[in-house]
């Protein structure tokens, strides 16, 4: 089934339902999709690591790729 046919089928099902829980669930799905930010999906530890790395970069604590590779060969 192609995407347009899927969408039409979903619209028909939505129009046929009188269940407010289903309608609210669909609303929540669309609302989450519009406001979703990857940052919200990261764990606290992942966020802290990214923030610490950003501070290190700002302070010039960086290593170029070639130097890093030489140390690990």
pTM for this structure? 0.44
Higher confidence at residue 37 or residue 59?
59
Q: Are 23 and 14 in contact (CB under 8 A)?
A: yes
Q: Are 32 and 25 in contact (CB under 8 A)?
A: no
Per-residue pLDDT tens over the stretch 1-54:
699 999 999 999 999 999 999 999 999 888 877 766 788 888 999 999 999 999
The gap from C-alpha 67 to its chain's centroid, in whole angstroms, comes to: 33
Q: How many CB atoms lie within 10 A of CB 30?
A: 9
The gap from C-alpha 15 to its chain's centroid, in whole angstroms, comes to: 30
The pLDDT assigned to 1 comes to: 67
């Amino acid at each position: 089934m192609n995407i347009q046919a899927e969408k039409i089928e979903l619209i028909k099902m939505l129009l046929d339902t009188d269940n407010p829980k289903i309608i609210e669930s669909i609303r929540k799905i669309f609302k989450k999709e519009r406001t979703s930010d990857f940052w919200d999906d990261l764990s606290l530890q992942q966020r802290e690591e990214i923030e610490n790395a950003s501070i290190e970069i700002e302070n010039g604590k960086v290593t170029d790729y070639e130097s890093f590779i030489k140390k690990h060969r």
